Amino acid sequence: MSVTLEDRPIEQVREQVIDKLIVNYSHGIISAEAFERRLDDAMASESHQELLDLVADLSLSTDDEYSSKKDQQFTPNYSNKEADDTLVISCILGNNERSGQWVVPREIKLNNVLGETTLDFTDAIFQHQNITIKLNCILGNAKVFIPENVNVICKTYCAISSIENCAPSMANRQAPVITIEGKVVLGSLSVSVKRTIKEKFIAFANQLKNTFN
């Protein structure tokens, strides 16, 4: 006996609706404007029936190939590739950035004096579920960018400084957890999402559309 619509987890229904929107947009069934409008409605709605109504006129459904591509796009990158357990980054009177598909060690020691350091985990490859950043930031700025499927715990303290953690920290229990420890003195630390989940949905849909075209 199937479960009634109202008793299904709404996030599960939402995910299925968004998947169907992406598939139909990528095959040219609906326009870019209609896709973005319905995507906004799907992400905002708290009604099971309203969600299903958004895709009631769409015929194409997901398949195994779509699910595989989606997993590659939205699941944190894990690797068994060996690397040093500790990465030491020193930035004095300069700029330092780590971004792209870089392998994340278990511990990152970041010493930033009169400089600016950026750690971008958006496309990073994780080896461990728990990562620690030990921060020593004096008269400098540190920026940390994360994807929405990574959790962040900020344990730093500051003196005449600013610390801003805008990470949602709502990923599941299997997601990587980045813990930031240390101090910020006469400087700043910001933690934020570089690309929102909506932006990732649109980018993924356009990627599929280009493939089919």
Q: Note the pLDDT tens digit of each residue in 167-210.
A: 766 666 678 899 999 999 999 999 998 877 888 889 889 988 88
110 DSSP β-pair partners: 89, 135
Distance set, CA 103 to CA 76, 79, 109, 195 (Å): 12, 8, 15, 20
Alpha-carbon radius of gyration of the chain: 20
Question: Is the pLDDT confidence value at 166 over 60?
Answer: yes
- Supply the mean pLDDT for the chain: 88
Question: Is the pLDDT confidence value at 66 over 60?
Answer: yes
Three-state DSSP at 7 gives: helix
> Whole-model pTM?
0.68
